[in-house]
Amino acid sequence: MNFNTPLLQLSGIGYTYAKRLERLNLFTLEDLIYHFPFRYDDFSNTTSALQAKIGESVTLQGEIWTIQNIYTRSRKIITKAVFNDGTSPIELTWFNSSWLTKQIQTGDRLQVSGKISKYKNKLSIIAPRWEKISNLPTTNYQLPTLHTGRLVPVYPETYGVSSKWLRTKIAQLLPQVLDEIRDPLPNPIRGEMLPLASALQQIHFPENWEQAEKARNRLGFDELFFVSLATQKARLEWSKIPLVKPFKINSNKLNQFIKKLPFKLTRAQQKVLQEITVDFKKDQPMNRLIQGEVGSGKTVVAAAAAYLVHLNNLKTLFMAPTEILAFQHFETLKNLLEPYGITVGIYTGSKKQLSRSAGDGQKRASPTRSRRSEAIEDARRSANGGEPAGPAQVIVGTHALLSRKLPTDNIGLVVIDEQQRFGVQQRTLLRKRAKIPHFLTMTATPIPRTVALTLYGDLDMSIIDELPVGRQQVKTYVVPEKKRLDSYKFIAKKVAEGDQVYIITPLIEPSETLTTVKTAKVEFEKLQKVFPHLKLDLLHGRMKGADKDTITKDFRSCKTDILVSTSVVEVGMDNPNATIIVIEGAERFGLAQLHQLRGRVGRGTKESYCLLYTSDVSSNDARRLKYLETTFDGLKLANLDLKIRGSGEIFGTAQSGRFEFKIATFSNITLLEKTRQETQDLLSKDPTLDKYPLLNAKLQDIASEVMPD
């Protein structure tokens, strides 16, 4: 057995549990060991029933006097036990746990942990943690237990896999591989931090809070260090790439292109475009990141860059993270570039359109071949100089662009939108297949400078820090539940005036654990009754690409009044006629993400509104949301998120999107700066890391993301 052993092969797991663990992205023993607790229940206060205070979390040791299942009139099962620790009897109560009477018998000695309460003048613990113990001493003896009497780790769970099961399994397996763990950090870098094996032991089963904190610091350092090392090493390798032929910049044609745009470029857009043209003139490939607010005009800058690439007889690949965003860019780029004879194609999971017929320019269709086969054939034919006419010179797509079946000859520029949603290896694969083109990546996610230097240390950075003239500042309000009906009346009034509305929920469908959280499917059914005379539609990430395409087109063409959706509309939806966005359960989103969602409205000339629904306007979460009522600077909101809620709220569930951070936090600025400095010092002494094979091996592990065929 080693870290690479599949969980399916481990004793006591089996096929059923292995499949359940896959839902947590756990496939190997290493995955399981690196499945860290997200919190601890502190049951280290071992005391007696008489000394325990009401409301206090305690651990008691004693004997079960009686235990039985009680069936209520509503057919619910309550398991009740009388437990005595030698000082006082206590009633233990579990709900829907009838199987406990088979596991716990009268006379069993238990250690139980939970919060002391009083019910009908009797001491009680509701849903206590418990485990059997033998040779029970009389008082205050701390046993080496897993589920009680200590800091008890609580893990991310899934259906059929509880924290108790995970604790038991990790406690069984971890000691068997601890001696095999080789610490990749050189001693000078590690300093006084815990060795890796000790950190892994103590993150799961700390004896006290100090141990837990030291373990988190060591493992968090590792994650940040390897991110920084990977990006800085990539920057070094990029600088060694063979020279490319500098572009010829036709300033007259570029100026004509800019003048004919349907709007005037902002100074920030002009500055970033100038930085790109300077890069194009060099014999070193461009590797640049553009940061800009939602609606700041990053796509137009990318279109101008693609135009310059076309003037140099080369093609552009434009990759987006979702089909919604890909189709949005497809339409935008067609409008901007096709007047100059530049054909724009689309290549996604549901649609492959890379050329147009020689006759009328309409889309080719073949009843006998798949769109994918036809598109690939067209691309190959055009690469060889044959028919059909109008092969795509700009190809917009999703991850499908990574397909090895898609020819990538004569690529001069790769544009990647929403950079943080793609992995480093995905970018690397595109770079290799496109034979070292210029790279332009973009993000609307506001990223604090310290975080950006760590995550994107391999990129030169440009910032578009102003919005186009005419963009509306969206009026934002935190709405209490009691105002819901009034807001529905307001929505109906605005729709009657010709406006459209987004209604966003945190989840697609009901969850077993998050029972009070609004879901798209349920809200869609409910709102059809609230607005019976309006046209509503439902959009979420699990839909087929063709269905999503139809729904988004209907909304943009004003066939739909209200679009009920999840945060899938966060990027890619551009409908100037939408003036209201309602966000249910707003406290479940970070400020930066709410700012992104708010950017879906205010894109036209009409006054626009963002309504943030929360169940408790007096809570800390609601007070946090109040910042959105007065702050419209995405970077300021991102920094607030960093201070208030940590880095996960900037980048969403998957954190950075480039690496799955399990324990690191960008809010620890000191640790961020330390990891970056250590990275720079190490690479300055050994750029190839030949002296550190374990570090090189770790970087290979980081880069081993699954790539499509």
The rounded Cα 664 to chain-centroid distance in angstroms is 14
pLDDT over 70 (residue 415): yes
DSSP 472: P
Least confident span in 210-219, 491-500, 650-659? 650-659
What pLDDT is attached to residue 106?
93
pLDDT over 50 (residue 428): yes
Which domains, and CATH codes, for the chain?
41-154 (2.40.50.140), 251-283+297-443 (3.40.50.300), 475-631 (3.40.50.300)
**Local structure of 97: helix, strand or coil:** coil
Phi, psi of 316 (to 5 degrees): -125, 135
Least confident span in 174-188, 219-233, 235-249? 235-249
In the block, residue with structure tokens 């235990």 = 67
pLDDT over 80 (residue 261): yes
pLDDT over 50 (residue 51): yes
What pLDDT is attached to residue 90?
93
pLDDT over 50 (residue 359): no
User: Which residues in 662-683 are b (16+ Cβ under 10 Å) and which e?
Assistant: ebbbbbbeebbebbbebbeebb
Tokens for 33, please give them: 């060991």
- Confidence band of 358 (pLDDT split at 50, 70, 90): very low
DSSP 665: -
Q: What angle do CA 97, 99, 104 make, to 5 degrees?
A: 105
Whole-number Å distance between alpha carbons of 678 and 289: 24
For 564-588, give the DSSP string: EE-GGGGTT---TTEEEEEETTGGG
- Specify whether the CB–CB gap between 578 and 600 falls below 8 A: yes
- Specify whether the CB–CB gap between 322 and 472 falls below 8 A: no
Average pLDDT of the segment spanning 2-30: 90
Q: Which of 212-226, 371-385, 610-624, 646-660 has the highest mean pLDDT?
A: 212-226
In the block, residue with structure tokens 């079960």 = 64
Prediction pTM value:
0.65
User: Higher confidence at residue 97 or residue 74?
Assistant: 97
Q: Are strands 287-292 and 344-347 parallel, antiparallel or unpaired?
A: unpaired
For the stretch 506-559, pLDDT in tens is 888 876 556 677 889 999 999 999 999 999 999 987 888 778 888 988 998 999
Residue among 171, 158, 143 nearest 16 (CA): 158
Angle at which helix 209-239 crosses helix 693-703, to 10 degrees, equals 80
What pLDDT is attached to residue 97?
87
Contacts for 497 with CB less than 8 Å, ≥ 6 apart: none
pLDDT over 80 (residue 453): no
232 burial (CB, 10 Å; 0-12 / 13-18 / 19+) is buried
Angle at which helix 196-204 crosses helix 163-177, to 10 degrees, equals 160
- Confidence band of 480 (pLDDT split at 50, 70, 90): confident
User: Higher confidence at residue 231 or residue 467?
Assistant: 231
CA distances from 24 to 3, 144, 155, 422 (A): 17, 28, 11, 20
What pLDDT is attached to residue 351?
65
- Confidence band of 619 (pLDDT split at 50, 70, 90): low
Average pLDDT of the segment spanning 560-574: 81
pLDDT over 70 (residue 139): no
For the stretch 657-706, pLDDT in tens is 344 577 877 667 788 888 888 998 999 898 888 899 888 888 877 655 43
User: Higher confidence at residue 623 or residue 349?
Assistant: 623
**What is the residue-averaged pLDDT of the chain?**
82
Q: Does residue 367 have a cis peptide bond before it, meaning omega lies within 30 degrees of 0?
A: no
**Maximum separation of any 2 CA atoms in the chain, in Å:** 94
For the stretch 631-656, pLDDT in tens is 887 777 777 766 665 544 444 433 33
Whole-number Å distance between alpha carbons of 540 and 547: 10
Whole-number Å distance between alpha carbons of 271 and 290: 11
pLDDT over 80 (residue 138): no
pLDDT over 70 (residue 254): yes
- Specify whether the CB–CB gap between 581 and 598 falls below 8 A: yes
What pLDDT is attached to residue 155?
92
Residues across the chain: 709
What pLDDT is attached to residue 29?
94
